[in-house]
Amino acid sequence: AVWVRCYFHFFGQWLILVAKKTAVYGFKARVYGLEYKYMPDGLSTMEEIGIVMAGPASVLVVYLALIATAQLYRATGSYLPDLASKYIAAFGIGTVLDPVLVLLVDLATSNYACDARPGCRVDYTRSSCDCVEGDAFKLWRRMVDENNGGVLGIFYAVAVYMITGAAACAAGYYYLV
């Protein structure tokens, strides 16, 4: 359950990019999630914040759908099988921890500072550039590029993650009680 949520995270972001008619390329399915590149230059800062938020928000929407399914079972007087109930609870833990788990994967796979990599320095869109800017680093990079300072990007990312984390905690509380 915790592993599956990473695909919903990146798929939700991809959907937002496609809806915004942003060119998405280099799409690869990995064991730890989906990788794709896009050029953030055509997006406003608020749109970039929305893309970062779309990841954990997508996972939250799936979690809420799982909770609604459990509530439908309860409303009909029956109960979910024990395994399904545990799956939903584990998915909830993954939903709360989603930003931290994505950060850990981004750190482990070195998905940051792409512009400093030899294959990416000239052109981020080249296939020789095997780097994708991680979620936790997108807003830092954006703020540095706009001369606003990376700290503001960290503030935005933390605020987004706190909002989605609080909503996930509330949903988990509702499910468990």
Q: How many whole angstroms from its chain centre is CA 122? A: 27
In the chain, % of residues over pLDDT 90:
60
* DSSP structure class, residue 26: E
**19-35-159 Cα angle (round to 5):** 70
| Both structure tokens of 127 | 């296939």
| Both structure tokens of 149 | 């300072």
* DSSP structure class, residue 148: S
Return the residue matching tokens 């998915």: 91
Return the residue matching tokens 């794709």: 36
pLDDT digits (tens, 9 = 90+) for 134-163: 998 999 989 998 888 889 999 999 999 999
Whether the predicted pLDDT of 52 surpasses 90: yes
Name the pTM for this structure. 0.90
pLDDT digits (tens, 9 = 90+) for 67-115: 999 999 989 988 889 999 999 999 999 999 999 999 999 999 888 888 8
Backbone angles phi, psi at 30, to 5 degrees: -120, 165
Whether the predicted pLDDT of 35 surpasses 80: yes
In this predicted structure, what is the pLDDT of residue 120? 79
